[in-house]
């Protein structure tokens, strides 16, 4: 039987480059940005959780569990991940950001294959050039290590990843899959591309 995978969509940042507008909720071609991400994930995972530090009621409209960072000091993506790792009952947690609307349809299966093939604890997606900082699959037993790292005052995702056995899965075959929307200008550009 295929192992159980839960996904967490990280929407817990301050979105300063989006003028402070909650990135997951901004409209992209008639849908909240996070809807595009949800649509990409529903057929890939067993459960979805949404991590948000504001506007929780609005995020609840999609029917998934919504939770804030256990430590709500905006300590970065690891703060959302560690909370999700402690909540999930699945064998693996898939982490994605709310501002990446074109994720691969085979994201979870390929990350899982890479992780198993390399007997790793974490599998990180790459676009062929760059590792994607918050697109990864990992094992929930890493919660303790991540918590210790955060408690020590560290925040950097790649520094924590480097403490574990990491597999990299290249999605160079899908060069646009990780287009990331951080600013109103990037959002407008993507909206035009999608509309074509």
Ligand X SMILES: Nc1nc2c(ncn2[C@@H]2O[C@H](COP(=O)(O)OP(=O)(O)OP(=O)(O)O)[C@@H](O)[C@H]2O)c(=O)[nH]1
51: DSSP letter: E
Binding mask 20-59 for ligand X (x = CB under 6 A): ---x---------------------------x--------
- To ligand X, the closest distance from the beta carbon of 160 in angstroms equals 14
CA distances from 64 to 16, 132, 181 (A): 25, 25, 23
Per-position b or e across 125-157, b if 16+ CB within 10 A of its CB: bebeeebbbbbbbbbbebbeebbebbeeebeeb
From the list Mg ion, ligand X, none, which binds 10 (C-beta under 5 to 8 Å, kind-based)?
ligand X
The answer to whether 87 touches 75, Cβ cutoff 8 Å, is: no
Q: Which stretch binds ligand X (CB under 6 A): 7-15, 30-38, 54-62, 108-116?
A: 7-15
Q: Residue with the closest Cβ to ligand X? A: 13
120: DSSP letter: -
Distance between alpha carbon 90 and the CA centroid of its chain, in Å?
16
Q: Which stretch binds ligand X (CB under 6 A): 70-78, 137-145, 146-154, 159-167?
A: 70-78
180 annotated ligand binder: no
Interface residue with Mg ion, options 70, 170, 182, 186 (CB under 5 A) = 182
- To Mg ion, the closest distance from the beta carbon of 192 in angstroms equals 19
């Amino acid at each position: 039987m295929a192992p159980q995978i839960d996904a967490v969509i990280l929407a817990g940042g301050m979105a300063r480059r989006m003028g402070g507008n909650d990135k997951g909720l901004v409209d992209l071609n008639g849908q909240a940005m996070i809807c595009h991400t949800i649509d990409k994930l529903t057929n890939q995972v067993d459960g979805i959780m949404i991590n948000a530090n504001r506007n929780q009621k609005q995020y609840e409209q999609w029917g998934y569990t919504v939770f804030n960072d256990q430590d709500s000091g905006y300590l970065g993506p690891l703060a959302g991940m560690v909370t999700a790792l402690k909540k999930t009952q699945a064998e693996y947690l898939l982490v994605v950001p709310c501002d990446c609307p074109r994720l691969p349809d085979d994201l979870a299966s390929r990350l899982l294959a890479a992780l198993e093939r390399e007997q790793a604890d974490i599998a990180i997606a790459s676009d062929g050039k760059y590792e994607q900082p918050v697109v990864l699959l990992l094992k929930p037993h890493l919660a303790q290590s991540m918590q210790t790292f955060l408690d020590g005052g560290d925040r950097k995702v790649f520094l924590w990843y480097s403490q574990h056995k990491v597999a990299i899965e290249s999605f160079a075959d899908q060069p646009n899959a990780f287009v990331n929307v951080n600013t109103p200008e990037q959002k407008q550009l993507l909206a035009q591309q999608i509309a074509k």
